[in-house]
Amino acid sequence: MAIENTTGSNEFATIYTRDSLANDSCQEYDCPQSRVFKIIVIGDSNVGKTCLTYRFCGGKFLENPEATIGVDFRERTLQLDGEYIKLQIWDTAGQERFRKSMVEHYYRNVHAIIFVYDVSSLASFESLPEWIEECVRHSVPPMVPRILVGNKCDLRGTREVSTFSAQRLADSYNFPLFETSARDPAEKEHVDAIFLTLAYRLKNHKPLRLKQPSESSFIQLAGQQENTHCLC
């Protein structure tokens, strides 16, 4: 059921293999040298941003998540072609009242953006142009990779957004499209593949090492499978 496109160049062809996950992650103290990439996850409230990031960083479906306030941080370190790559994932709040004081921080020094909608919510899909426009307003450079993820594909009976419509929108922005489910255990590897594909893209295009964010005076980054709230 999961699909992905390779719009434009084939830079986004999924290059994940089972081997790349076999020994991909490591504990913080095992990885003295790692490049760090900041990825923000954006979209309407309730589309499953928290569950998707938790699925990738924690390996499980998070039952009963609470609405994100400000931002939650999750990290996962991968070993790609012998190099450690740390993905620092910013799970942003979908609700305006929980995000407005944080928006500037979301976009600062971002390396990649994941736009999420819920395939069972047409409204969340129709909001995407606003989210995309918000990035433009915050001067995110065009070369920063962006991908589109339709979540909750397990809700087959209540789907409101067809793959065709989503693909058309993705094509209009030249974004790769992925459809998946944070809930469905069978989709676990596909969720991994989405993030890994982005990680490979970043690894090959970003030579510079990112310092810890300047916001670190008020933001504590959490361990690999935990998260931290920031309400600023």
Ligand X SMILES: Nc1nc2c(ncn2[C@@H]2O[C@H](COP(=O)(O)OP(=O)(O)OP(=O)(O)O)[C@@H](O)[C@H]2O)c(=O)[nH]1
Least separation in angstroms between residue 183's CB and ligand X is 3
Count other Cβ atoms within 10 Å, centred on residue 134.
14
The residue ranges that bind ligand X (CB under 6 A) are: 45-51, 65, 67-68, 93-95, 151-152, 154-155, 181-183
Residue with Cβ nearer ligand X (58 or 210) = 58
SS3 per-residue string spanning 27-74: CHHHCCCCEEEEEEEECCCCCCHHHHHHHHHHCCCCCCCCCCCEEEEE
Residue with Cβ nearer ligand X (79 or 180) = 180
Assigned token pair, 168: 């058309």
Contacts with 71 (C-beta within 8 Å, 6 or more apart), sequence order: 90, 91, 92, 93, 102, 105, 106, 219, 229, 230
Least separation in angstroms between residue 138's CB and ligand X is 18
Count other Cβ atoms within 10 Å, centred on residue 43.
24
Residue with Cβ nearer ligand X (35 or 55) = 55
Provide the pairing of β-strand 146-151 with 112-118.
parallel
User: Nearest residue by C-beta to ligand X?
Assistant: 94
Residue with Cβ nearer ligand X (24 or 179) = 179
Least separation in angstroms between residue 104's CB and ligand X is 18
* Residue 149, beta-bridge partner list: 116, 178
Residue with Cβ nearer ligand X (34 or 118) = 118
Least separation in angstroms between residue 5's CB and ligand X is 20
Least separation in angstroms between residue 90's CB and ligand X is 12
